[in-house]
Chains A and B, each alone.
Chain A
Amino acid sequence: MKLSKRRKWIPAGYISSGLLLATVMVTGCGAPDADFRANEAYLTLQENKVGELGTRRESIKQNIEDVLTGLYGTPDEPHLLSVDGLSDVVEIENLQIAAGPTGSIDEAGARRGLYREHCAHCHGITGDGRGPTAEFLNPYPRDYRLGVYKFKSTTGKMPPTRDDLKKTLVEGIPGTAMPSFRLLNGFELDALVDYVRYLSIRGETERALIDYAVELEDDQNVLWNIADEAQQTEAKEAVEEMVADVVAKYVAAHDNRIPVPAPPENWETAESIARGRELFAGPIANCIKCHGLTALGDGVVNDYDDWTKEFFDPNAPGGRETFAELYGSTHAVMKPRPIRPRNLRMNVFRGGRRPVDLYWRLANGIVGTPMPAVPIKAEDAPEEDPRLVSDDVWHIIAYVRNLPYEDISEPAPLPKYQRKRH
């Protein structure tokens, strides 16, 4: 009897051990060493433009990896090439604090590993926005490798300043998984800011190297053989030039701030808000096209951000199938997700709620997203020029800031000349 009772438990024992083993196998037991990941997706994109690389792909990939290691080091030991201006853009001491394993200590006893501790789980060790948690987060964590950032005070596609990035770290981004790191010290924040810039510069350099490498002829499949001393000088100069082009933008960023004139005297009065409402719905700013008639963010809802559109063409027939074919199996690119215009009635502005933050968003748009810049003319431009003046931008801001207090069930009527359109 004992035996038959015991026998009953044997399959249960096997099943539970097997399931436990399956758990560990599926979810993993060990951890690979920390290393930067190659930008496979961009390499695939460029390969599709120039034609199949075949066996050259692996050697190009390895060569680029060696060059980047030579230029920028590893996640544990970063270093910088002596390119003009690079040391002004990022400080090596900051990189050394931010780099390294979590909780590690350097020779002087100072704590290192801040990036891996605080950022890598979302942004990835390479800054590619594909950390372990990325798939669950909406919006996806930022991919630094394009050097494109949404919330900044600089013009056009210039990189953000250190202060812009520090502001994002300190304030976080409400409504997203980007936390506020206000509990970190100033020097820790500075270290993280520089490390993010370092990852951007590294990422942009990698893209430039891929662009260059895929155009090489078959017999030139080595971009730069670091071990070959004879080849060093000429190839190194070419690479240094690529890096210098990337770095130059960061050097120039601080001198390319969006000019922000003072608001008009009647700003945020009833008259200003009414003028803002008119411009909001007007043909020049045309905010209602995307943000919707009542600014709930229900206008255009099927657009994508630039990080997605680089790999996914929503308008091409079979776009999704092409995307799945190229990137689906490797998961090198996050699945496309539409980007929604902001619901302006929430009084939540992810890049900051201050009037100057809103001015920056309107004057320069939100780079990387479909949010365009409002066309602005100089104060002394002719009246026939249909673009807006800076006072008009301030009036739009006044209207937007007043939106949460405007009764949505009885929105203020649109000006007469607008009604026909809708």
Chain B
Amino acid sequence: MKLASSQSEFSPWPHRLAVLLVCVTFPLIWVGGLVTTYDAGMAVPDWPTTYGYNLFLYPWQTWILGPWDLLIEHGHRLLGALTGMIALAFTAAVLRFDQRKWMRWAAFAAVVLVIFQGLLGGARVLLDARTLAMIHGCVGPLFFAFAACLAVTTSNWWRRGSASENWPTKARFAGLTVIVASLAYWQLILGAQVRHMPVMATPMDFRMAVIFHLVMAVTLLVFVSLLVRKTIRLKPGPAVRQPVLLLGLIMLFQIGLGVGTWVVKYGWPLLGDSYAMSAQYLVVNESLLQSFITTLHVATGSLILAIAAVVCLRCLRLQSLAAPASIVFIGLMSQTRWEVAR
């Protein structure tokens, strides 16, 4: 009955707005990466105003035609404000059209998270604290992954609640996706440590951070490969298969970008001057290539986290539908089952 009544109130708007939220958050993360790449974090010294102007009233000609670091920093703030507004619209749509209690709480959590992220950004500027910049850079991708999860939970696929025909209940598939998503976030944090290394750090500090980041990259690659292999072998259905294969491809791409990031910033490692390619390579500071590759590597890290979160959530959903006795998450999944049962 509950399902029938919720179907009669069904609106595509929560899902549409969730997808819009995801689509706006990714460029926001990208531009945030550009802010760090170009060291533009303090390009606007005040907050929440911009050089004394209200955020939305800063003269657009000065913004567009002014210095590059002002363009990206103020642009980042405007995009952040837009994201916040879409999050609010999403919450309003959920309150209006979605009867699921936990979904409403999730929508509120999204608004709280985006406001928190905005406050972190403001604190970074007001306190001129690069540590806060690093934390801000870690919370942003978390929000992006959360927005992707909201898009999943508001989707038709979720509402239909169709169990997968041959879901591998005994293969610990869902558990593996949880590990992959956790490792992806851990790797993102390690990357943030490398990128926001303080200038007073010693060579040992940077070395540790880089080694951790490399070891975790290998670990993550191993687990993603396991996941891809299991997906190909066990065929859990397109809702999981497609994002897992995409994750595998993007993971390989990201490893390449990681190598590329090192090369464009510090030259070819290990090859020395025995090869013309490494002997002739000249690093050009803040060149288009250097900025593009570095920022793309940062943005792809967030994308990996979001896809891993989507895979994880879908797997947990299918796991709970296929084998209710083996619930992993109690609150979320059991409520979902309860709704389906009624």
A residues at B contact (CB < 8 Å): 1-2, 5-6, 16, 19-20, 23, 26-35, 101-105, 116-118, 120-121, 125, 130-138, 172-184, 297, 331, 334, 340, 342-343, 346, 348
Contact = CB atoms under 8 A, between A and B. Distances in A.
B130 A175 contact: no
A177 B273 contact: no
Shortest 6 CB-CB contacts between residues of A and residues of B: A31-B198, A103-B42, A132-B206, A135-B203, A179-B283, A179-B285
A54 to B, nearest CB: 26
A94 B32 CA distance: 30
B209 A5 contact: no
Interface centre among B272, B273, B284, B327 (most CB of A within 10 A): B273
Given A28-B198, A182-B284, A342 B273 contact: yes
Given A133-B203, A342-B273, A26 B39 contact: no
Nearest to A330: B202
B29 to A, nearest CB: 20
A184 to B, nearest CB: 8
A120 B190 contact: no
Contacts of A173: 282
B57 to A, nearest CB: 20
A276 B206 CA distance: 46
B276 A346 contact: yes
Interface of B: 39-43, 45, 69, 128, 130-131, 182, 186, 189-190, 193, 197-210, 212, 265-267, 269, 272-274, 276, 278-287, 325-328, 330
B220 to A, nearest CB: 14
B207 A135 contact: yes
A342 to B, nearest CB: 7
Contacts of A297: 273
Given A2-B330, A27-B209, A182-B284, A331 B203 contact: yes
B116 to A, nearest CB: 18
13 contacts: A5-B327, A23-B190, A27-B209, A28-B193, A33-B200, A102-B39, A103-B43, A118-B285, A133-B206, A175-B278, A179-B285, A346-B273, A346-B276
A331 B128 contact: no
Contacts of B205: 27-28, 132
A131 B203 contact: yes
A118 B273 CA distance: 25
A105 B45 contact: yes
Contacts of B43: 103
B238 to A, nearest CB: 29
Given A135-B203, A177-B265, A183-B287, 5 more contacts: A27-B193, A27-B208, A133-B203, A136-B269, A174-B280
B323 to A, nearest CB: 12
Nearest to B286: A183
Contacts of A2: 327, 330
Contact of A348 (B40, B131, B273, B325): B273
A181 B205 CA distance: 26
Given A133-B203, A182-B284, A27 B212 contact: yes
Contacts, number: 149
Residue of A1, A103, A132, A135 with highest tally of chain B CB at under 10 A: A132
Contacts of A117: 39
Contact of B283 (A103, A138, A177, A342): A177
Nearest to B285: A179
B285 A174 contact: no
Contacts of A343: 273-274, 279
A4 B61 CA distance: 62
B202 A331 contact: yes
A29 B190 contact: no
A382 B288 CA distance: 57
Q: Is the interface of A mostly helix, strand, loop or mixed?
A: loop
A389 B47 CA distance: 67
A268 B239 CA distance: 69
Nearest to B69: A103
Nearest to A16: B182
A35 B279 CA distance: 35
B131 A31 contact: yes
B284 A177 contact: no
A192 B186 CA distance: 37
Contacts of A30: 131, 198
Given A101-B128, A177-B283, A178-B283, A131 B199 contact: yes
B98 to A, nearest CB: 27
Nearest to A334: B203
A116 B202 contact: no
Contacts of B207: 135-136
B131 A175 contact: no
Contacts of A177: 265-267, 283
Given A28-B201, A348-B279, A137 B273 contact: no
Contacts of B281: 174-175
A146 B41 CA distance: 34
A366 to B, nearest CB: 15
A362 to B, nearest CB: 19
A172 B208 contact: no
A297 to B, nearest CB: 8
Q: Which of A6, A16, A27, A134 has the most CB of B within 10 A?
A: A27
B172 to A, nearest CB: 12
A184 B285 CA distance: 9
Nearest to B262: A136
A135 B206 contact: yes
A5 B331 CA distance: 13
B39 A137 contact: no
A179 B212 CA distance: 26
Nearest to B266: A177
Given A120-B199, A177-B266, A179-B284, A23 B42 contact: no
Given A334-B203, A340-B273, A23 B193 contact: yes
B282 A34 contact: no
Nearest to B271: A175
Given A131-B199, A132-B206, A334-B203, A104 B42 contact: yes
A27 B190 contact: yes
B273 to A, nearest CB: 5
Contacts of B200: 31-35, 125
B282 A174 contact: yes
B202 A29 contact: no
Nearest to B270: A138
Contacts of A116: 199
Contact of A6 (B69, B212, B266, B330): B330
| Residue among B41, B42, B199, B265 with max Cβ neighbours from chain A (10 Å) | B199
A130 B199 contact: no
A175 B272 CA distance: 7
A178 B281 CA distance: 11
A26 B203 contact: no
Contact of B130 (A23, A31, A180): A31
Contact of A132 (B69, B190, B197, B267): B197
B203 A103 contact: no
